[in-house]
Structure 1
Amino acid sequence: MLYTVKEVAELAGVTIKTLHHYHKKGLLQPSKITNSGYRLYGRTELERLQQILFYRELDFSLNDIKKALEDEPSRLACLSKQQELLIARKQRLDCLLNTINESVVLSRKGAVMDKSSMFQGLNKEEWKDALSEQRQYLEDKYGYNIPEVEEDQVYSMNEQAMEAQQFIGCLKDALNSGRKANDVSIQELLKNHIAFLNSHGHNIDAKSFASQTRFFIDDDFHRSIFENQQIGLSYYLCIAADMYAASNQ
């Protein structure tokens, strides 16, 4: 059975203009074009459109979608890959939702979230204020000076703060649910977190990250940041990081 462009648009919940655009980009070719110029689509085209829309939901660009579809050897392989990506996105969104819910609860109680845990976008001066206590502490105890925040660093720092909050939120969920520190999901979480840090200018590997988490335990100031969010969190992170480093030597 063949469907007109209008029927396909209604089935898929997209506009006719979108289908024309996909055709123009070489993403979705009609099964046939009539002598009158009408585009007609069959089941194969509907299945391909489904895959395109799944990738759009994952924020893939049209060029990336085209490449992804060309690289996948079969529809099943493509669907399996999309399933994997959608599950990963759901996990990230669940973590973010838990963080937002926690913020709402704290706000209703009149409690104040630790500045280092906030993930809303800050400007240069707000970052300076947020880091002031940590800057003073590190200077007094270790003689280490945190560089001043530059205007061109603000966007990246906001991105890093948001990712860090999601990372910690996922760790808290795992700890509360009783997952072991060497659980596959936790090890994957660490892998992605370290990769994110490296993509934002931090030269860090599994071993150095594990060393950093041990510092968080040994240092009262930084340990309290984690423990104030969840008792045992700093130790859980350290154990998980050590296990990840041991398996990635």
Structure 2
Amino acid sequence: MKVKEIAELAGISVRTLHHYDEIGLLSPENTTEAGYRIYSNNDLEMLQQILFFREVGFSLKKIKEIIHNPSFNQNEALQLHRKLLLEKRARLDRMINTLDKTIQHSKGEINISDQEMFEGFDFSKNPYEQEARERWGDKAVDESNARINKLSDSKREALGKEFDAIYRDLAAIRHMSPDSDEAQAGIKVWYDYLSKVGNYSLDAFKGLGQMYVDDERFTKNIDKYGEGLAIFIRDAMAEYADHNRR
């Protein structure tokens, strides 16, 4: 099957498939003499795996690490997808039930308790923290959390304001070259800020920047400060890490 046929079948864009090929996530087994990508049944199965992983919140980089690992077992992965999707469905069902009750409550048809108002909501697990633990280990994250927890409320608030100021400053120069003096000065401020709350090696710093682009949750939040900011920060962080390793 050609790329357009695959895109229509899977409900994704041709550009997405091209991107998967470019980053080595899913490269078709064959190409025609004219350069057209030809996808096999094995490619289709791999694409399904990728989309399942995306549905449950994995970044493209993490998916690549998993599915190209020699120990990757497709059947085990399918069982994992099923388990995670069932858990997600159960949580959504609880939230829909809460929503229905809230609608009835707003119409005066029933009364609901404070506890019932929040059934189905669970923010106790931070997906970003989990990703960080998987990438850099528990120790670095635990040390970062310990430092933050020891801070007073006023200092935590000050850190929040400093974070916001840094991102606003970076957004203002996002149209410059990531290796420019201005960009590198701004990204050093970001590195110094992260060093206050954690212990980031240059490799971890560079990896964090890549995750800003690989994980659409990060990209969406960062680009609220300015379109294209996540890519700019990623490139500037990579340049900073590579330059300071020399």
Coarse TM-score class (shorter-chain normalised):
0.3 to 0.5
Question: TM-score, structure 2 length as denominator?
Answer: 0.45
> Comparing both chains, which one has the higher relative contact order based on Cα–Cα distances under 8 Å and sequence gaps of 6 or more?
2
Question: TM-score, structure 1 length as denominator?
Answer: 0.44
Structure of greater Rg: 1
